[in-house]
Amino acid sequence: MFRSLSGRFLILTAIFVMLAEVLIFVPSIARFREQFLLDRLERAQIASLVLLAEGDVTPDLQDELLRNAEVFNVVLARDEARQLVLSSPVPAPVTGTFDLRNAPALTLIRDAMHRLRTPEPEVIRVIGEPVRMGGLLIEVTLETGRLRAAMVDYGLRILWLSLVISVFTATLLFVVVQCFLVRPIRRVVGNMRDYAANPEDARLVIKPRSTITELREAEESLQNLQTQLTAALKQKEHLAQLGGAVAKVSHDLRNILTSAQLFTDRIEMSEDPSVKRMAPKLVNSLTRAVHLCEATLAYGKAEEPAPTLARHRLRDLVADVLDSERMAAAGHDLRLANAVPDELILLADGEQLHRVMSNLIRNARQAIARNGAPGEITVSAAEDAREWIIRVRDTGPGLPPKAREHLFKPFQGGVSKGGTGLGLTIAAELMRGHGGTLTLEKSDETGTSFCITLPKGNFAAVS
């Protein structure tokens, strides 16, 4: 119990109440001592007035008056003359004098604490002002035994009262904390356990109910987190299922394309000039399709395979991509420009870089075709001491805001109707595998520009 939040609240509340009572007790006990002494002064004044009124009194009556006042003698000052009104033998020397006239609070507290710390009875002198204008000064001597006993009794009563108050207050706080704090927290913890057991069940997402602001905010944050996690797990499951389907399709498609490669061997033997010119491109396209299927099958088992780096003349690679896209753009007013320097040689995986360039140029061609206006796609490149920089620019209509926001997210960054958005996601992943980046430089009504950066790294060491 005492390791729980409410149990610790209970202990701390009791401690704090006791501390508060101690702070109250000190001035209270000082006030009690002062009142006790003032009461003895008042009794002594009454006894002295009896003596002054009746004149001579018998010794027995005088002793009785002093016993009732609980003092040994009484000195009364009237008209600036001090008079010993009542007296009896003092059992011990006077050890201290205490003047209650305008005594500071700290002095009263100090004297009260001293009295509690001194168990042995002492004889003290007390000076005060008579009540109801009964003179200028009244002074008595008394023993401190009764005073200390009364102070101890009063302190014990204060102590027991403090204990009762602290226990009552702590119990109330315990109940309040249980109702308004611990139970809502336990409900949240219970929901987290249930949700962790089956995070794909949307019914287990917490529903904020707390009326406490901080707990309400925590529940709302947890609700958002669980909602996003459930959606992500569902998407992951769908992707896993889709990956299995794609792997099966890719397996069959690879067999079909392999058969098609066998037929292209015979086509290459044709004497027709057009066939001879087109056959190598067909062979290359089929080869890339087979490699893509093999990469897709590998992706179903693991991530994209690591790039196999080699030297490539970028202009030739870009020309191959542009030739394929030029045939696909037949009938459209589209200009494809290869502005890559002829001498630029970079280090990359040729197949993967070809896939990235094909994806970017194909997306640009399709965007211009959908726009229905003439357009231009330009591929340029440059290099510095650290990296190669490739840019693919087009004069298309630009990307929609939603596509720009989720550009490199699978199934969210698609531009065309029915598009999956996987192309740019895979392209960015391929460039990251090279240690480079694929970024969107700009996209507005004047066109779109993508930038590829590839680090040179240990370029000189690769033959």
Of 341, 402, 331, 337, residue with least CA distance to 364:
337
What is the distance, to the nearest Å, from the Cα of residue 158 to the centroid of all Cα atoms in its chain? Answer: 45
Domain with 165 in it: 5-170
Q: Look at residue 350 in the predicted model and tell me its pLDDT.
A: 92
pLDDT average per 10 residues of sequence, the chain (463 residues):
65 76 84 92 82 67 82 83 82 91 90 91 90 78 92 89 79 80 84 86 83 84 88 73 63 59 62 69 67 57 71 94 84 90 93 92 89 91 94 91 75 48 80 91 92 81 51
Q: Look at residue 375 in the predicted model and tell me its pLDDT.
A: 92
Contact 339, 358 (CB under 8 A): no
pLDDT tens for 121-139 read 999 999 998 877 667 888 9
* Domain total in the chain: 2
Contact 111, 31 (CB under 8 A): no
How far apart are alpha carbons 304 and 322 in whole angstroms?
25
49, 432, 447 from 412: Cα distances, Å: 104, 20, 21
* Residue 233 resides in a domain: no
Q: Look at residue 238 in the predicted model and tell me its pLDDT.
A: 64
Q: Look at residue 16 in the predicted model and tell me its pLDDT.
A: 78
* Residue 269 resides in a domain: no
Beta strands in 333-398 (DSSP E): 334-339, 345-348, 375-383, 387-394
* Residue 189 resides in a domain: no
Q: Single out the residue in 112, 144, 170 at which a domain terminates.
A: 170
Number of Cβ atoms within 10 Å of the Cβ of 454: 23
* Residue 198 resides in a domain: no
* Residue 297 resides in a domain: no
* Residue 423 resides in a domain: yes
Q: Look at residue 418 in the predicted model and tell me its pLDDT.
A: 40
* Residue 361 resides in a domain: yes
How far apart are alpha carbons 433 and 299 in whole angstroms?
14
Q: Single out the residue in 106, 141, 170 at which a domain terminates.
A: 170
* DSSP assignment letter at 181: I
* Residue 249 resides in a domain: no
pLDDT tens for 51-107 read 666 556 677 777 888 888 889 998 888 776 788 888 888 888 999 999 998 889 999
Report the CATH number at residue 391: 3.30.565.10
Q: Single out the residue in 114, 148, 170 at which a domain terminates.
A: 170
Q: 308 and 165, same structural domain?
A: no
**What does pTM read for this prediction?**
0.44
